[in-house]
Amino acid sequence: MTLTGAGYYSFVAMVTSAVIYLVAFAAFSAEWASARNLDDGNPVTDLTRSETDRLRVDKFGRIGVALATIGLLTHLAGVVLRGIAAQRAPWGNMYEFVTTAMLFVAIGALVLLTAKGMRWLGLPVTLLLTVGQGLAVTVFYVDVAPLVPALHSVWFVVHIVAASISGALFNLGAIASILFLIRGRAERRGTLHGYLARIPSAQALDRFAYRAHAFAFPLWTFTIAAGSIWAEFAWGRYWGWDPKETWSLITWVVYAAYLHARSTAGWRGRPAAILAIIGVITFWFNFVGINLLVSGLHSYAGI
């Protein structure tokens, strides 16, 4: 690896952000773990538990938020420096796309965490960010390079920004859907205690998941449409069943099924949440699997 100037500092910032996210994840884990014996529904133990126990849970949470914020700032610096080093929008290959999409996840999650009081997002989101940034700097990394002619287009910005924002929202929605399944099971079995008792009700999680998906789905539709317009300019056909195109359609169809399931009797709740999780799996498969396993016109992974 030969790195100089902004490219070098960008990489350092990215690695640092991955480490800080990991530490933030540890803090949020401590938050969840220290809440283990709180609010277990037993009025006697709940009363005897001192206020310091509650404060300790909160303290770990605050540490997590503070660390995640520092991680976000480092991450942002990494993405901006990468753009300066490349002298273009920094999403021309797999490494750059992951780091940008993860930046959108981090920004979205921190806004929700602080402004909307959704502290419960901390643990799953920092886990996602640690894995995402960790994979980016270790597996996906490529040095700065100019773009191939096919990427010289205004759609380069439009298509990819839309893809990364909707990807970020799909991930947030999937996190809420997974928590919905866990919390819903605990609610049905009456085993609601520990941190699980402190996150929103299954109904509220379901509503949050729906909102994230309802916002992401039109954006994803737009991503595919913008991609097909770009394909018409660059390759002379708007749809060619390239593996990436096919899988973006599969993701679209799965989320369309999710939205329909939510308004169909017998499909609400668990089946819909499972569809949302399948949706995010197809999204990730399209991104990682198709880039690395299948060759197609979208082969910009550079690995």
Binding residues (CB under 8 A) for other proteins: these are: 2, 142-146, 148-150, 152-153, 155, 207, 210-211, 214-215, 217-218, 221-222, 225, 228-230, 232-243, 246-247, 249-250, 253-254, 256-257, 259-264, 266-267, 282, 290, 294, 302
Distance (Å, rounded) from C-alpha 146 to C-alpha 108?
29
Of the pair 79, 144, the CB lying nearest other proteins is at 144
Least distance in angstroms from the C-beta of 70 to other proteins: 31
Least distance in angstroms from the C-beta of 72 to other proteins: 27
Phi/psi region, residue 242 (left: phi>0; alpha: psi -120 to 50; beta: rest), is beta
Of the pair 41, 218, the CB lying nearest other proteins is at 218
Of the pair 77, 256, the CB lying nearest other proteins is at 256
Least distance in angstroms from the C-beta of 259 to other proteins: 8
Of the pair 48, 263, the CB lying nearest other proteins is at 263
Distance (Å, rounded) from C-alpha 199 to C-alpha 107?
21
Least distance in angstroms from the C-beta of 148 to other proteins: 5
What is the maximal distance between C-alpha atoms in the chain? Answer: 72
Per the CB < 8 A criterion, the answer to whether 122 and 179 are in contact is no
Block residue for tokens 């690695």: 15
Of the pair 31, 206, the CB lying nearest other proteins is at 206
Of the pair 72, 280, the CB lying nearest other proteins is at 280
Of residues 138, 172, 117, the one with CA closest to residue 22:
138
Measured in Å, how far apart are the chain's first and last C-alpha atoms? 13
Least distance in angstroms from the C-beta of 225 to other proteins: 5
Least distance in angstroms from the C-beta of 18 to other proteins: 22
Per the CB < 8 A criterion, the answer to whether 21 and 129 are in contact is yes
DSSP labels, 183-226: HHHHHHHT---GGGGTSPPHHHHHHHHHHHHHHHHHHHHHHHHH
